[in-house]
Structure 1
Amino acid sequence: MDISALIDSLHPLEVKVLTAFGTRPPGTVLDSEQLAAAAELEPSQLSMAIEWLLAKSLIAVHAETVTPIVSLTKVGEQYVAAGAPIERVLAAAREASGTGKRLTIPDLQAHDGLDPSDVSKAIGRLKKEGAVLIVQGGCIESTGRPSQTVEALRTLLRQVRESSRELQSFPEAHRQVIEDNAVKRGNAQEPFRVDERVARSFTLSSAGAGAAEQLLKQGVAEEVSQLSPELLKDGSWRQKRFRKYTISLRAPRVGIGRKHPYREFLDTVKTKLMSMGFQEMRGSLVETEFWNMDALFMPQFHPARDIHDVYFVKQPTHATKITEPFLTRVAQAHQDGGKTGSTGWNYAFNTERAKRLVLRSQGTAVSARTLASAPAVPGKYFSIARCFRYDQVDATHATDFFQVEGIVLGEDINFRTLLGLLNLFAREVAQAKDVKFLPAYFPFTEPSVEMHVRHPRLGWMELGGAGLFRPEVTLPLGVGVPVIAWGLGLDRMAMVALGIHDIRQLFTDDLDLVRTMRGIF
């Protein structure tokens, strides 16, 4: 080891610690307090210097002792002033027994604002010690016997309040009371806190001994970090020690601003679709069941309308009205098919149910409203819709998510057109290399298909469904040409495009993850 180069790399605080050892006989062992006094350093400065020297293997830990120290929490301070709950419960029981009054648990809970959990814990301990009894009617009576816990707590609170003490300095019975009433994970409302005080002693390593010896021989010049005009004028720079700079170290990373990768992904999807000639559709997050489900030929007894699948709005619960003639036409399509050529679902359509307000559960609701607004034919429309469904959150599911919803209208539109568009989206937007289509069923499309892509880590996963809108959907809304529609999960597409394996990472506030997440395209 090059001692000279090593000494040149030392920080002034490290030099002080090594010098403090070097002025003592070889093999000297010093604890933290002795080192701080010898090196004339503050505890924080000494701590930094020791960690640096340990990392450089110039000093070594000779011994380490861990001492549990007992102190009072804020709850303990309150107990000193007002008495511990167990003491107050016992006092109330003795007072009631002395006056012949009935004392119940609700009486205790209302007494001086005692917490129910504290009352329950106190009664359990006092009953175990034989200080109280639970008699007929759930009343509490004092037996007149003393409580060892009450006496110990009263003594301990007074002693620890005067000064923090080592746990081992207490008798064994008192130590048990402290541990039973000390702050633990999941229970911070306790009077005592037991902290571990770590005391270490240090000695020089062989390399450290050599560095300390060299420092004493050559002396320690005052270190400066900047060459000033004054030092140059009088030549005093020759007697100074200049801090060395290691240019091989990596420069600190600068956290520059950037868009959240998922926000950037959504913007890119929108740009791509608009460049393909699609017009954007917009809709409200709160929707009626009519536009969210009824207009899509989903019967009112469909399981997707259950409270475990869709979020209902608490206030107001219903819209005031549904636009005509769409309400009447859709109701007829459900009941007997109306003028669609279908037999419908054969049930009595409930118009009040159709007015029920829900959080939009599918982007297709935006498409239904667009079809009812006299869209251009031929026409192409898309929407990036935030949707909400009750679901178990895991790596590929969330309770709120984005869908890219789209429709294409035209006389020559067919199923092959749909498959071509879906394949284009999977490869251009999700950057998927493997795509497959599987037959599916949806109440509002026929034929229907599901698109799956292969995630590099999670394997095959569904991106969403698509199909040709049924006449029961398009005709009541005033559209007489074929319409293809799709609703694809943008969150899952983003997982493939951004190279992440957990859908929750799309909404993370972990800045390191956001900064290191790969770009989009």
Structure 2
Amino acid sequence: MKVRLLEGEMQLLKALEKLNGEAYDERLVSETGWPSDKVTTMALNMSERGIVKVSVEEEVWIWLTDEGLRYARMGLPERRILEQAMAKGGVEISKLERVEDWEKPIGLAWLRRKGWGVIRGGRVEAAGEFPKGADEKLIELIASKGKVRLTELPEELRKTVKTLRSRRLVETGKVTRRLISLTELGWGVLRGDVEVLEEVSRLTRDLIVSGRWRSVVLKKYDVSLPSYRIPIGRLHFWRDILNHIRRVWVEMGFKEMEGPILETCFWDYDALYVPQDHPARDLQDTFYVKTPGRGRLPSPEFVDKIRQTHEDGWTTGSIGWGYKWDVEEAKRTLLRTHTTAVSVRTLAALKEAELPAKFFSVGRVFRNEKPDRTHLCEFYQTEGIVVDENANMKHLVGYLKEFFKRLGFPEARFRPAYFPYTEPSLEVEVYHPPTGRWIELGGAGIFRPEVVKPLLGRDIPVLAWGLGPERMVMLNYGLKDIRELVMNDLEMLRRAPVWMG
């Protein structure tokens, strides 16, 4: 009997022989030094000829999240609170040490839930001493190994996986493994019972010069066989998408505008006619900057227009907000909460001779939110404005429909809404064909006279919109957690398709 083998296939058979005729693909990757895809491709190729057998197994693996790794180092927050309450015979919540403010409600809730203590009048009192629970044991086990198989865990620890997942301390995922085994034919090849014809995939200079080309078999090129990938450098797919969005706006005749990330309240809020007591300006929504704590304002004449608009409406036809505007509040520095701050800076610098004008921006913005599967404290917005005497809502809808169409969303719809600095205002939704869902992506409208007149010196229609692309990216790429956009998962980055629009 004769069989054809590539040089690499013979190497794989010898590696299997060394491993007693059977091994998982990851063990063979370690043994040969080849990429996983190459081992899999060769094994599947030989399995079609009956030389090896490939069995596919799916296993659930468990690993710690960033928060889980923190608790592996420091202990669960409820454990740290319990230890302090026991050591001090009770402890005030405000005096807890080694527990961050955001951890306190988590730790206190689980302390009560586990029956480890009680809270009375702002004090924590321990209910006794408690040994390590299954959740703590599992966190320690995973931390020591990096990741573990679900099937390896004893029943006690297996039951607590769901609890740790609900606390977002662990993540799970299915991993496909292939068990590759030598068949009787494969053993025969290694023993020499079967005649091996050397098969080559390309005709080299050495084969021709040595004359070996006469004794080898040239392998036929089979395009139906699975192939292995060669990792190459590429931009993060999120960066690719942001660049694509920029190209779309430029193709539609827009000019890019840019502005600082470190902004003052004046440009981020006041110039947009957002009152100084508005809830959006609170600490829980905004990252205020400690150093420098104050920024420079534009000319006193310009600042005075904004002040009067807030206090009594100035000459806009409005009655204003009716309060005493504070210039020191306007000087406070922050990380910009929206790219609309870039729009108002652009409008303030716009000259009459430059009208009509169309601008866009794509930039990072910041909100004081705890990151979770649907929120980030740093994300992107794409902003646009059109300044034109003849602009109206039909033009606004038309621009946005064309933009989304070029991004691959054939349908868009608009609903009346309220925003502090536009009137009328719209909420923007697009239809996502693969899921059959409508998704909300942002807001749009026409800037109010209280915004436009102080900036431009006269009231003129300014179409404006702000859109968040993260949601449509999550849907198109099948991401369940928005944090995956900023995680350095090399395998995900390599496999992510190019956004075609």
Q: In which range does the TM-score fall when normalised by the shorter chain?
A: 0.5 to 0.7
Determine helix, strand or coil for the equivalent of 2:267.
helix
Does 2:468 match 1:489?
A: yes
Deviations along 1:163-218, one digit per CA (max 9) or x if unpaired, are xxxxxxxxxxxxxxxxx9999426769xxxxxx9xxxxxxxx9963x776787685
The structure 2 residue matched to 1:185, chosen from 136, 141, 160, is 141
The structure 2 residue matched to 1:434, chosen from 398, 411, 431, is 411
Deviation at 1:310, TM superposition (A): 1.3
Give 1:518's aligned residue: 498
The structure 2 residue matched to 1:285, chosen from 257, 261, 271, is 261
Give 2:231's aligned residue: 255
- Change in Cα spacing, 1:338 to 1:14, as seen in structure 2 (3 Å) is closer
1:40-439 alignment, distance < 5 Å: 184-185=140-141, 208=184, 248=222, 250-375=226-351, 376-394=354-372, 396-429=374-407, 431-439=408-416
Q: 1:7–1:211: 8 Å Cα contact kept in structure 2?
A: no
Q: 1:434–1:454: 8 Å Cα contact kept in structure 2?
A: yes
Deviations along 1:51-91, one digit per CA (max 9) or x if unpaired, are x8x987879xxxxxxxxxxxxxxxxxxxxxxxxxxxxxxxx
Does 2:3 match 1:5?
A: yes
Give the Cα separation in 1 of the matches to 2:430 and 2:289.
Answer: 34
Give the Cα separation in 2 of the matches to 1:435 and 1:182.
Answer: 47
Give the Cα separation in 2 of the matches to 1:460 and 1:413.
Answer: 27
Deviations along 1:249-277, one digit per CA (max 9) or x if unpaired, are 54542334444333233223223322333
- Change in Cα spacing, 1:230 to 1:489, as seen in structure 2 (3 Å) is closer
Give the Cα separation in 2 of the matches to 1:420 and 1:183.
Answer: 53
Supply the RMSD in Å over aligned alpha carbons: 4.8
458-467 or 290-299: which moved more? 458-467
Give the Cα separation in 2 of the matches to 1:402 and 1:326.
Answer: 30
Deviation at 1:288, TM superposition (A): 0.4
Give the Cα separation in 2 of the matches to 1:251 and 1:187.
Answer: 35
Give the Cα separation in 2 of the matches to 1:409 and 1:214.
Answer: 77
Q: 1:468–1:482: 8 Å Cα contact kept in structure 2?
A: yes
Q: Which residue identity does 1:386 align to in structure 2?
A: R
- Change in Cα spacing, 1:211 to 1:306, as seen in structure 2 (3 Å) is closer
- Change in Cα spacing, 1:475 to 1:57, as seen in structure 2 (3 Å) is same
Give the Cα separation in 2 of the matches to 1:460 and 1:468.
Answer: 24
% of aligned pairs identical?
A: 37
Q: 1:432–1:496: 8 Å Cα contact kept in structure 2?
A: no
Determine helix, strand or coil for the equivalent of 1:476.
helix
278-287 or 247-256: which moved more? 247-256
Q: 1:8–1:244: 8 Å Cα contact kept in structure 2?
A: no
- Change in Cα spacing, 1:492 to 1:324, as seen in structure 2 (3 Å) is farther
- Change in Cα spacing, 1:403 to 1:246, as seen in structure 2 (3 Å) is same
- Change in Cα spacing, 1:444 to 1:15, as seen in structure 2 (3 Å) is closer
Q: 2:199–2:218: 8 Å Cα contact kept in structure 1?
A: no
- Change in Cα spacing, 1:8 to 1:274, as seen in structure 2 (3 Å) is closer
- Change in Cα spacing, 1:228 to 1:510, as seen in structure 2 (3 Å) is same
Q: Which residue identity does 2:141 align to in structure 1?
A: R
Give the Cα separation in 1 of the matches to 2:262 and 2:365.
Answer: 10
Q: 2:312–2:320: 8 Å Cα contact kept in structure 1?
A: yes
Give the Cα separation in 2 of the matches to 1:17 and 1:371.
Answer: 70
Determine helix, strand or coil for the equivalent of 2:304.
helix
Give the Cα separation in 1 of the matches to 2:400 and 2:52.
Answer: 65
Deviation at 1:328, TM superposition (A): 1.3
Q: 1:457–1:501: 8 Å Cα contact kept in structure 2?
A: no
Q: 1:386–1:403: 8 Å Cα contact kept in structure 2?
A: yes
- Change in Cα spacing, 1:350 to 1:498, as seen in structure 2 (3 Å) is same
Give 1:451's aligned residue: 428
Q: Which residue identity does 1:509 align to in structure 2?
A: N
Give 2:71's aligned residue: none
Determine helix, strand or coil for the equivalent of 1:304.
helix
Question: Structure 1, unaligned stretches of length 5 or more?
Answer: 21-30, 36-42, 60-104, 107-115, 117-179, 190-195, 197-204
Give the Cα separation in 2 of the matches to 1:373 and 1:182.
Answer: 59
The structure 1 residue matched to 2:440, chosen from 462, 475, 490, is 462
Question: Structure 2, unaligned stretches of length 5 or more?
Answer: 23-29, 33-38, 54-86, 89-97, 99-135, 146-151, 153-180
Larger radius of gyration: 1
Determine helix, strand or coil for the equivalent of 2:246.
helix
Q: 1:508–1:514: 8 Å Cα contact kept in structure 2?
A: no
Q: 2:3–2:195: 8 Å Cα contact kept in structure 1?
A: no
Give the Cα separation in 1 of the matches to 2:298 and 2:15.
Answer: 83
- Change in Cα spacing, 1:458 to 1:476, as seen in structure 2 (3 Å) is same
Give the Cα separation in 2 of the matches to 1:277 and 1:8.
Answer: 56
| TM-score, length basis structure 1 | 0.57
Deviations along 1:268-301, one digit per CA (max 9) or x if unpaired, are 3223322333222110001101100011011111
Q: 1:395–1:501: 8 Å Cα contact kept in structure 2?
A: yes
Give the Cα separation in 1 of the matches to 2:436 and 2:442.
Answer: 16
Give 1:68's aligned residue: none
475-484 or 487-496: which moved more? 487-496
Deviation at 1:365, TM superposition (A): 0.7
